[in-house]
Structure 1
């Protein structure tokens, strides 16, 4: 048996999917994506709020996983950030 055949099975005991890690919990994936997309477009929360009509406080709560994005807001955010709205759902 070659070591190449053994190594993957050894690593499988230590690997954790990103969704299962505490660093990127799945329940806040839309918030993490929102913050990243906003950063990529070089927008402040206030600027994004003005573009979308969504209160800045709500954007902050969405980014921090304290408020669901919802379909209507997802469409507004997606248009402003040039992404697919489904990434926020």
Structure 2
């Protein structure tokens, strides 16, 4: 069995990734869940009783630019059209989508206002 550990920046949790033989995977998951129960760890649930996961857990390599690209794609517009609507240069949109340029609070608010979406998605 191989294991890889990564402590999150908050220091409150540690990710442990395991590689186990396929035939043992189910029993290992059950054992880990039992250990988590003993540690009084529980994942939050929604109204339907489904476990909730953070964006970082689902998309560990994700960044706010992915949401920006998703919005632009949903709107069916080019980077140039998106940039024109916000009054910025097209290459700035490209850099934000790639994650090489941070999306400032001011820019997030401008995007949120222009597209009627919460600015917090882009931070």
Q: TM-score, normalised on structure 2?
A: 0.53
- Give the superposed CA RMSD: 2.4
Aligned to 1:61: 95
What is the aligned residue count? 75
SS at match of 1:67: coil
Give the whole-Å Cα distance in 2 for the aligned partners of 1:66 and 1:58: 9
Computing the radius of gyration from Cα coordinates, the structure with the larger value is 2
- Find the aligned partners of 1:70 and 1:46 in 2 and give their Cα distance: 19
2:107 corresponds, among 63, 66, 73, to 73
Using CA pairs below 8 Å that are at least 6 residues apart, which structure has the higher relative contact order?
Answer: 1
Q: Deviations over 1:39-68 (max 9, x none)?
A: 001111000111000211000000001000
CA distance in 2, matches of 1:68, 1:35: 14
Q: Which runs of 5+ in 1 are unaligned?
A: 1-5
Greater helix content:
1
Please state which structure has a larger fraction of its residues in strand: 2
Indicate the residue corresponding to 2:30 in structure 1.
9
Runs of 4+ in structure 1 displaced over 4 angstroms?
A: none
